[in-house]
Chain A
Amino acid sequence: MSEPSAPPISKRRSGQVMGGAFVSDPRCVVKGDKVIGVRCAHCRYPTSPPAPWCPACQHREQVEAEFGPGGTVWASTLVQIPVGRWAPPYAMAYIDLDDGPRVIAHLEAPAILAVGTRVNIVGGDDGDLIVRLA
């Protein structure tokens, strides 16, 4: 039996990045400079990651769709505490992708961007969506 290392940060389901067990990834899938998802065949509601039916109108037929690379900052903040694999300072924002869903993203540069700023998807970093000033 080996010596226990640093105490776990949490005893609950915190994911491997926090020293816990594997947790299936709930984040939207990033492919190149696009977010992959689905769009409702009836009301065009965009969803990522995909849902079992359209969350807005419950229509069952949804078609695969790509969103981005362009989007607009709903709001952004600079986080000054460590969270998971992220060390401070790091910036996060809600981005309304053009004709697409609102997604949470990391800003490439650790600085706050004004509401309404245009951004582009850079790509994914270990599954996290990264955007930068357009």
Chain B
Amino acid sequence: MQVPASFEFERAESVGHALELLERYGPEARLVAGGHSLIPMMKLRLAQPDALIDINGLAELSHLAVAGDTLVIGALVRHAALLADPDVGRYFPIFHEAERVIADPVVRNRGTVGGSLCQADPSEDLSAAFAAVRADAVIAGPGGSRTVSIRDFHVGPYETVVEPGEILTELRVPIRPGAGSAYVKVERRVGDWPVAAAGAYLRLGPGGVIAEAGLGLTAVGAEHFTAPEAEAYLIGKEPGEAVLREAGRIAAESCEPQADQRGPVDYKRHLAGELTFRALSRAAARADGSQS
């Protein structure tokens, strides 16, 4: 039987209250959102926080809305809510395609967007999806709020720029006309973490050439979950098959996959290239309107 070590438990009534509690309990306190990464780690005693601060009651972190030309996603939005939202599907198919293959429907009822990003597992699907669309993360702390590009958010495995006394409050994703996105993952069995996965975001400009390219890669050791050389290569080109394949090749080169029970290095690198190509192809078809 797996039982966590003892800890104190507090329920936050507001973001301000949660910040106060974080300050009062110090760096050994942890926020708990869905708890679907933290509680398993506590059961295995890989994490032994002195105190847990429950943010599940905070409606102010559960908002999900289009505000002008920005999609705003509260940190406490559950995976299931992101997957069910029609605006998210319309503007960012990448999120629906990623969510459909994250864990299983029951886990998705509980796990949150913010918890996923803050967990910073090198195999987290949403980290790649948010990197591809160049989201901004809003972080609240004792001195007010700050905004960080998602590409500066993850500083290493299980490590983010969110300080012990801070809370991730929301993600902001710019909505631009003429854009398309997609997510493709290979898993060993339904509901499993990825062997490898790739997300792509493309915006086409005048003449159908690529004006903006975003790539997200997970579980393959891509720095900041992305592939900037492959993105730079795509700019100004027409999204034909040869170009997208070459972008996949460059992305695969830039990865540092590690061998584990999900597969050897060369297989994962192959997947990184092939999945990048497939995600780009679908994103391009969505950007030019030939696929929904």
Partners in one complex: no
Q: Which residues of B contact A (CB under 8 A)?
A: none
